[in-house]
A and B are shown apart, each in its own frame.
Chain A
Amino acid sequence: MNPDDYLMLSGIQHFAFCQRQWALIHVEQLWAENSLTFSGKLMHDNADDPFFVESRGDTLVSRSIPLVSHNLKIYGIADVVEFHRSSSGVRIAYRDGFWEVVPIEYKRGKKKEDDCDEVQLCCQAMCLEEMYGTKIPAGYLYYGKTRHRTEVLFDEELREHVVSLIQEMYALYENGITPAAELKKQCASCSIRDLCVPTISSRKKSVDQYLDSMIGEYSHEKTA
């Protein structure tokens, strides 16, 4: 497959949250901002500066790293990748020694019940592993609301989940399928709810019945 046809890494988080949300954004190309997505964007604008490299002793902080995995057929951008000086790890241009690669992803809210943030971070790590030819055991999610980092271990189970999600994404993408809506609790916080209208495909009221009910109202009434 041509790398131009790869799917976007950021989509995996949408897909883990709601398959239809992902399809509406990536297949139907719909998008809408709400206050949640907008504050997330503001936060990223602060975190993302590709030309800013921060160096603190034995830690190097790099922002907006382009990512790709030809195995997973995924491309994207990592918010922040830290390089920790270590006895093992990878070599980096213009720096001596070896460095461990530690991906960090910034999220505006707090830790969620589902694993969509973990999945996204793990997918970033898998791209970095492929690009640097290394093994990355763990990364961090930074949550804006709690201002805390949570460590995420990239175990086999999480990695397999990433792979299977990407397979499902490709199955829908290649066939141009948008899954039907299901009204769920999480719909309340979805920015594209108005474009999705989860109530129409979950209500199953047929258009025929709707028109009949409107015509029916007439036929019983008389003029004047």
Chain B
Amino acid sequence: MRKLRNVLYVTNPQSYLSKDGESIVVSVENQELARVPIHNLEGVVCFGFMGASPGMMALCTENDVGLCFVSPYGKFMARVGGKVSGNVLLRKRQYAVSDDETASVKIASYCILGKLMNCRTVLQRFSRDYPDMVSGEFERNFKRLSEGIVQIKAGTCGSLNELRGFEGILSKYYFDSFNDLILSTEPEFSFENRSRRPPLDRVNALLSFSYTLIAADCASALESVGLDPQVGFLHRVRPGRPSLALDLMEEFRPYLGDRFVLSLVNNRVVTAGNFVVKENGAVLLTDDARKTVLQAWQKRKKEEVMHGYLEERMPIGLLPYSQAMLLARFLRGDIDGYPPFVVR
């Protein structure tokens, strides 16, 4: 596998990015704060409004470094990309498959299988680590989830709607057990169900934030192998929606997202005070906490994991890339299916 480079997260909204030689310079009010050589970078995510010079943008596009602007609260605003690259034959195949329900169901099933199998592992690991805390309800959900996985693998879903419906039911079993996985005694961290737009509790705020990070990584991984992140198989094509990035990230939600959030809460990396609760109930991460979370995220991406299909150890941060590559290889007919990343 290729090398995992870093992602530069610029969290001060007053930051301005410029280029000096082969380096990116981050400055606030004309004061240079940091200088990073482009060759060490995978991507740049800027939580700010000040912007970047065209020279810096060119430096990024020439070096295949994704540059993405999000609002200070992590809402996606813009991504800077170079000229259209990659293989037009691959993209045409992607569009053809996306228009073909049967072919789409096949790929979408692989993505969903990856997700549910990883959900299962998250539950399974908990039951192994804390056998005394496993309730009867937890075991029932676990069993239903496992049976569902076998059914999807057997190809029982004939249409995308059927698959979406079944996936929804199985995900609910998983999230019904999610509160059991939270070991924090702080009542603020209890989890009832998944809420978004806006997240209505602290755990949901963390989940949403980590999913945003994964989606950005998936979109750039897809672009780097020449796939169009907007044209998906499971997620319907909607203007502005990175449907394929959402398809690709399904398998990463439990493993990269949920487990990451659980470790933040259970290891007290974040505490109840790290959040702002708005008048309408929306829960937001504070600036400082966001920095803490991003640091933990960067650290997590450097951890290595065994890829069961590639039979190779690689940093977690390269998983979106390896999966995008495998998806492209499947679409081009190099391999006989799309092997989702499944954690042991």
Contact = CB atoms under 8 A, between A and B. Distances in A.
Given A176-B89, A215-B153, A218-B146, A224 B113 contact: no
A207 B310 CA distance: 11
Interface string A154-165: 000000000000
A197 B153 contact: no
B337 A214 contact: no
Given A197-B310, A207-B338, A217-B344, A29 B85 contact: yes
B335 A200 contact: yes
B127 interface: yes
A28 B308 contact: no
Contacts, number: 96
Contacts of A207: 110, 309, 330, 335-339
A28 B340 CA distance: 22
B1 A215 contact: no
Interface in B98-123: 110, 113, 117, 120, 123
B332 A194 contact: no
B150 interface: yes
Interface in A197-224: 197, 199-201, 203, 205-208, 210-215, 217-219, 221, 223-224
A215 B150 contact: yes
A205 B326 CA distance: 13
A219 B226 contact: no
Contacts of B142: 223
A28 B90 contact: yes
Interface in A172-202: 176, 178, 180-181, 194-195, 197, 199-201
Contacts of A153: none
B2 A29 contact: no
Given A207-B335, A224-B131, A214 B146 contact: no
Given A197-B310, A200-B329, A218-B146, A178 B334 contact: yes
Contact of A214 (B90, B226, B308): B308
Given A176-B89, A212-B153, 4 more contacts: A30-B225, A30-B226, A214-B308, A221-B124
Interface of B: 1-2, 85-90, 110, 113, 117, 120, 123-124, 127, 131, 134, 138-139, 142-143, 146, 149-150, 153, 225-226, 308-312, 325-326, 329-330, 332, 334-340, 342, 344
